[in-house]
Amino acid sequence: MTRTVDLNADIGEVLLTEEVIAAKTAELGRRISEDYAGRQLTLVSVLKGSLPFMADLMRQIDLPLRIDLMEVSSYGGTATESSGLVRIIKDLSASIAGEDVLLVEDIIDTGLTLNYLIRYLKGKGPASLRICTLLDKPARRLVEIPVDYRGFEIPDQFVVGYGLDYGERYRNLRFVGVLRPEVYGEPQ
Ligand code: IMP
Ligand code: MG
């Protein structure tokens, strides 16, 4: 039998509140709107973790834009470690050739997933490609990633909420928090 889960009770520490995230998203949206003024933008986001950030960020950008969604998963790895071997589950639905593309990510950890995606998207011939991530965990970086828009640098802790999951749970929390260590040991 699965235990009843109290999502909030599983959180040890709230790292970023809903208000802090909203203020940062507005700031990033303003910067992006200024930087791309007079141009059209294509936002490409990576499911599922980036979904809340994408939804909030796009509404803070004052430009004509279109969106596209990809979904990737890494082969192997664990619930808290990515393996770097990326499988595309859902590809872009339209061509990005000649477009100004902004890749919207939830978190950059080792950088392996994004490194793969950047090469993949560049191969599609966009006019430009920039990276926007809500969270950056630089301590664990294995490959260098040119981040153009960064929300928050966070310490080397596994975080959940605002799209981020542990075993597919906690994505619906409105804040970003650190799981209690006990939670990792329990069966899903
Ligand atoms: P990377 O390839 O190591 O940069 O990992 C990127 C992906 O791993 C992210 O898009 C997340 O899905 C996942 N990930 C990395 N760190 C965390 C975390 O602290 N919480 C939840 N998911 C994470
Ligand atoms: Mg994940």
What does the pLDDT look like over 145-172, one tens digit per residue? 999 999 999 999 999 999 999 999 999 9
Specify the residue for token string 């799981």. 179
Q: Which residues pair with 179 in a beta bridge?
A: 11
96-108 burial, b at 16+ Cβ within 10 Å, e below that, comes to beebbbbbbbbbb
pLDDT at residue number 171: 97
Options 109, 136, 148, 156, the catalytic residue? 109
3-state secondary structure 9-59: HHEEEEEECHHHHHHHHHHHHHHHHHHCCCCCEEEEEEECCCHHHHHHHHC
CA of 76 to the centre of ligand 2 (A): 13
pLDDT at residue number 141: 93
* Contact between 179 and 10 (Cβ < 8 Å): yes
What does the pLDDT look like over 72-96, one tens digit per residue? 987 666 666 666 678 999 999 999 9
What does the pLDDT look like over 28-62, one tens digit per residue? 999 999 999 999 999 999 999 999 999 999 999 99
User: Which of the four pLDDT bands, split at 50, 70 and 90, describes residue 7?
Assistant: confident
Task: Kindly list the strands in the beta sheet with 159-160, ordered across the sheet, starting from the edge strand earlier in the chain.
Answer: 11-16, 176-179, 159-160
pLDDT at residue number 85: 79
pLDDT at residue number 27: 98
Domains defined for the chain, CATH in brackets: 18-152 (3.40.50.2020)
pLDDT at residue number 187: 55
User: Can you tell me the mean pLDDT for 109-132?
Assistant: 96
Q: Is 136 a catalytic residue?
A: no
Specify the residue for token string 């709230």. 14
Look at 180 and 100; give whichever has higher pLDDT. 100
Of the listed ligands, the closest to the CA of 145 is: 1
111 lines ligand 1 (CB under 6 A): yes
**Ligand 1 atom closest to the CA of 165, numbered from 1:** 21
- What pTM value is reported for the model? 0.92
110 lines ligand 1 (CB under 6 A): yes
Please, which residues have CB within 8 angstroms of residue 15's CB and are 6 or more apart in sequence? 154, 157, 159, 175, 176, 177, 178
Say how far apart CA 24 and CA 60 lie, in whole Å.
10
User: Can you tell me the mean pLDDT for 12-26?
Assistant: 97
Q: How many CB atoms within 10 Å of residue 162?
A: 25
pLDDT at residue number 81: 67
Please, which residues have CB within 8 angstroms of residue 97's CB and are 6 or more apart in sequence? 124, 125, 126
